[in-house]
Amino acid sequence: MPLLQILQVPHPLLKRVAAPVERVTDDIRRLMDDMLATMYAAPGIGLAAPQVGVSRRVIVVDLAKDETSRAPLRLVNPAVLWASEEQVIMEEGCLSLPDQFAEVRRPAAVKVSYQDESGAAREIEADGMLARCLQHEIDHLDGVLFIDHLSLLRRQMILRRLEKARRVRA
């Protein structure tokens, strides 16, 4: 399975609203398999299609701690149907902003509708890390990054830190 290139900030595709998927075809299923392979290799716990240069509403998620307990989720056209009033602060990272982390406040629990790999309509209720990851990935489909939830000052600090790390590596 080919590994895809993960786009990094400030690639313009990361700020674009992704288009809905009209039909779950073999191409979409192949994309999700390639995204999962890319996510496991990164490593990460989620990935959205725009991060690999495809501006379509597709995400994958797997919170498994090791290869033996993998439980991949493939979500096409995911949408938040309900979000809890309760909000929690958790640390987030993003494969498009490597090695940058920040505490972000979001709803503690969500209910998400989506289509699975066969095109069937499904819903998932989540809290904890799964709720966090689903919200982070759905944000990517709307061109929103976790740093967009931070103050301007903190966002600029992270972007400067990222630039500095790139300069050191170059």
Catalytic site positions:
137
**Residue with smaller CB distance to Zn ion, 94 or 134:** 94
Choose the stretch contacting ligand K1U; rule: CB under 6 A; options: 11-19, 26-34, 74-82, 129-137: 129-137
Choice from 24, 32, 44, 75 touching ligand K1U (CB under 6 A): 44
164: phi then psi, degrees, rounded to nearest 5 = -65, -45
CA distance 2 to 168: 29
Site size toward ligand K1U (CB under 6 A) is 16
- Binder to ligand K1U among 33, 83, 84, 93 (CB under 6 A)? 93
| DSSP code for 12 | G
Which of these, 60, 37, 40, lies nearest to 134 by C-alpha position? 60
The one segment of 30-38, 66-74, 134-142, 154-162 that binds ligand K1U by CB under 6 A: 134-142
At 161, give phi and psi (nearest 5°): -60, -40
Residue pair 95/42 in contact by the 8 Å Cβ criterion: yes
Residue from 47, 54, 58, 73 touching ligand K1U (CB under 6 A): that is 47
Q: Is 95 in the site for ligand K1U (CB under 6 A)?
A: yes
Say if CB 153 and CB 161 are below 8 A apart: no
Nearest to 106 by CA among 79, 125, 87: 87
Q: Looking up tokens 């799964």, which residue turns up?
A: 130
Closest-CA residue to 71 (of 126, 18, 139, 144) = 126
| Closer by beta carbon to Zn ion, 21 or else 61 | 61
Residues 90-149 binding Zn ion (CB under 5 A) are: 94
136 binds ligand K1U (CB under 6 A): yes
Q: Name the minimum Å distance from CB 104 to ligand K1U.
A: 8
**Footprint of ligand K1U (CB under 6 A):** 43-48, 92-96, 132-133, 136-137, 140
**Footprint of Zn ion (CB under 5 A):** 94
